[in-house]
Amino acid sequence: MQHVSQSPISSVSSVSPWLNSDARNPIRLGNSISCSIDRKIPINAHLYLEGELQSHIFLVTSGIIGTYKLLADGRRQICRFAYPGDILGVDCAKRHLNNAEALSDSVVRSIPVSAIDKLIDSEPGFGQTLLHITAMELAGTREQLLSLGRKSASEKLATFLLSIARRSALPGNSEVLFDLPMKRCDIADYLGLTVETVSRNFTRLKVAGVIELLSSHQIKIGDIELLKALADGDDFLRLH
């Protein structure tokens, strides 16, 4: 069993060799120029707001950042949870398209957009990696739209946990233990559910033996295939 004490590391972290803030291995723009800066973002503080001019993209190095939009009536829809290794701002065109808030004490690496443009020109591998990031984000968006539009509450929660478990799992190992640093209200705003419904379905998953709640923030998945079956709407595993 793998224990993930921090947020799971994404394959997107493959861009880190280009975005290193260490002066001994700086971001390279033809010359050895270090232009990335690490910023501490305390919990509940905003990294950026919707509509602000974009000057940087951000590599999350610790903690978790939630991007969200506010509806006209004040309701919040969380669009994405960004974990260590994830990048924010790649999808922007001059202005940020949403708000980004630290859901736990976090650190992000800020890289000027101008540096990204130069890297794309000078490092073909970097451009390919950004294309891969974009493809991953589009796939995640499609899955989120399906979940919000067609799945039951228990299926939504199972799909959410499965996405994190897949990031954390070792090949051939069906058990995964990981932390959920976000609050239940954050999960509710991501899944389009009420906090009460999220808490109730956590309990249902626990009673069904799909997960173990080791603490309010620590989850153990006993069998990822079982969780996948529930996320896919298996009638035998459907929770009432």
Tokens encoding 54: 């974009």
Tell me whether domains 11-147 and 152-237 share a fold. Answer: no
- What pTM did the predictor assign? 0.76
Query: What does DSSP say about strands 176-179 and 2-4: parallel, antiparallel, or unpaired?
Result: parallel
Q: Tell me which fold the domain 152-237 belongs to.
A: Arc Repressor Mutant, subunit A (1.10.10)
Query: In percent, how much of the chain has pLDDT > 90?
Result: 26
Homologous superfamily in CATH for domain 11-147:
Jelly Rolls (2.60.120.10)
Please, which pLDDT band fits residue 116 given cuts at 50, 70 and 90?
A: confident
Per-residue model confidence (pLDDT) at position 78? 93
Residue 174 DSSP symbol: -
Domain ranges, ordered by start, for the chain: 11-147, 152-237
3-state secondary structure of 27: coil
Please, which pLDDT band fits residue 235 given cuts at 50, 70 and 90?
A: low
Per-residue model confidence (pLDDT) at position 218? 86
Contacts for 5 with CB less than 8 Å, ≥ 6 apart = 179
Separation between Cα atoms, residue 195 and residue 76, nearest integer Å: 13
Per-residue model confidence (pLDDT) at position 13? 52
Instruction: Report the mean per-residue pLDDT for the chain.
Output: 78
Question: For residue 49, which phi and psi values (nearest 5 degrees)?
Answer: -120, 155
**pLDDT digits over 172-197, tens only?**
555 788 888 889 999 999 999 999 99
Specify the higher pLDDT residue, 83 or 130. Answer: 83
Contact 80, 96 (CB under 8 A): no
Specify the higher pLDDT residue, 135 or 97. Answer: 97
**pLDDT digits over 117-174, tens only?**
777 777 777 777 777 777 777 776 777 766 666 788 888 999 899 888 877 655 555 5
Angle between helices 224-231 and 153-168 (to 10 degrees): 140
Dihedral angle computed from the Cα positions of residues 51, 86, 167 and 79, in that order, rounded to the nearest 10 degrees: 0
Cα angle value 94/97/102 (rounded, 5°): 115
